[in-house]
Copies of this chain bind each other. A is one copy, B any other.
Amino acid sequence: MVHAPLATLVNHQVRLAARPQGLPGPECWQFSESPVVEPAEGGVLVRTLALSLDPAMRGWMNEGKSYIPPVAIGEVMRAGGVGVIVASKHPGFEVGDHVSGGPGVQEYWLVAADQVKRSGLAKIDLRLGTLGQWLNVLGMPGMTGYFGLMDVGQPKAGETLVVSGAAGAVGQTVGQIARIKGCRVVGIAGGPAKCAWVVKELGFDACIDYKSGSVKDGLKQHCPEGVDIYFDNVGGEILDTVLTRINKRARIVICGAISQYNNTTPVQGPKNYLSLLVNRARMEGIVVFDYADRYHLAVAEMAGYLKDGRMKSREDVVEGGVAAFPGTLPKLFSGENFGKLVLQVAAA
């Protein structure tokens, strides 16, 4: 791969300017430019090709203790992504290697020697999946879905699984794996197009359109034997409704609560949580980073499913580079995205 001389290049960046109240608007962001420089000994320089836009980003923008520190004001916004090595002084990476990691919302990512390992920088094999799939089922959302389902949800053939955000990146992974493992799979998604796709393309047994009908009625209809596993990406009313339909010893995987992330009032706690008591059920959180040493196993398994056609994926790719980031992120919270939301930063 031929690349322009580094000194002629500019790195366009998006930084966090202010912590959001509610939905993150343009006032939260500032644009900056920095020179592109050669990596020092042991480091690499990555050109960002595409960024992963995830609901979790909303949490990273808040102050306060969480599973990782918040993004500081003035810092380049944290983001996972895929890219290509354009300069390397590290023996493990060559110019032209495709990689995944956390470049942040910027066009070039300089990784110092002592950060290569800590940053999660890893080569990716485009024979196993496309760049988009490496941000989706083979990336963080896929790993989240895989380990959340397998380790916390513990599916058994014949059980009924419900997953919210079914057409999203995590949801599509969870539902398809559960189906492969022999579960009855019922999605919850917004709008007829997403619901139809989830059933017809991904093979879910049913999908409930929360925008057009009653989730409670949908669960009664499509989960006649109750719910054994609920994989929750949304929280709020939907979590409360599913709690009324769980079976004895059900597992509720708390992966996210996108309905609550932009609240300016307190989070809505699940008022039906005592269903856990009545049903001896469990509600448990999952953070994907805990499974880093097993990502390769999940990638191998899911790449196999992609290859043999048992698993499909859908990415919603937005063009426009890092400048389009502030306007694209809110699509996640309105549910406008259809599939894994990806921001293309450069041509592959």
Chain A: residues with CB nearer than 8 A to chain B?
65-67, 235, 240, 254-257, 260, 266-287, 290
| Residues of chain B within 8 A of A282, CB atoms compared | 282-285
5 contacts between A and B (CB under 8 A): A67-B277, A256-B277, A267-B273, A268-B269, A273-B273
Find A268's partner among B271, B275, B283 (CB 8 Å cutoff).
Answer: B271
Min CB distance A346 to B, Å, is 33
A269 in contact with B272 given A286-B280, A287-B278 (CB within 8 Å): yes
Say yes or no: B270 contacts A254, CB within 8 Å. no
A239 to B285, CA, bound (A): 17
| C-alpha spacing A257/B277, complex, angstroms | 10
Query: B273 to A269, Cβ gap below 8 A?
Result: yes
Contacts of A275 in B (CB 8 A): 285
Q: Cβ of B276 and Cβ of A280 under 8 Å apart?
A: no
Residue contact B276 to A267, C-beta cutoff 8 Å: no
In the complex, the answer to whether B276 meets A273 with C-beta atoms within 8 Å is no
Copy number of this protein in the oligomer?
A: 2
CB-CB under 8 A from A290, the residues of chain B are: 280
Residue of B nearest to A65 (CB): B278
Across-interface contacts of A271 in B (CB, < 8 A): 266-269
Q: Say yes or no: A284 contacts B283, CB within 8 Å.
A: yes
Q: Is the CB of A274 within 8 A of B287?
A: no
Bound state CA distance, A278 and B267, in angstroms?
14
Cβ of B273 and Cβ of A254 under 8 Å apart?
yes
- A344–B1 Cα distance when bound, in Å, is 88
> Could you tell me if B268 and A254 are in contact, using CB atoms closer than 8 angstroms?
no
Contact partners of A267 in chain B: CB under 8 A:
271-274
Query: Complex Cα distance A287/B276, Å?
Result: 10
Which residues in B have their C-beta under 8 angstroms from that of A256?
277
Q: With A269-B240, A269-B269 as known contacts, state yes or no: A280 contacts B285, CB within 8 Å.
A: yes
Pairs A-B, 3 closest by C-beta atoms: A269-B269, A277-B285, A269-B271
Q: With a CB–CB cut-off of 8 A, which chain B residues contact A66?
A: 278
Most chain B CB within a 10 A radius of its CB, from A277, A282, A290? A277
Residues on the B chain within 8 Å of A235, using CB: 274
Chain B residue nearest to A290 in the complex (CB) = B280
Residue of B nearest to A56 (CB): B277
Q: Which residue of B lies closest to A243 (CB)?
A: B269
**How far, in angstroms, from A66 to B273 measured CA to CA in the complex?**
13
Q: Which has the most chain B C-beta neighbours within 10 Å: A271, A276, A285? A: A285
A284 interface neighbour in B257, B276, B278, Cβ under 8 Å: B276
Partner of A270, one of B65, B270, B279, B285: B270
Contact, CB under 8 Å: A67 / B283: no
Asked if A283 and B273 make an inter-chain contact with CB atoms under 8 angstroms apart, the answer reads yes
Would you give the shortest CB distance from A127 to chain B, in whole angstroms? 33
Does the CB pair B269–A279 fall under 8 Å? no
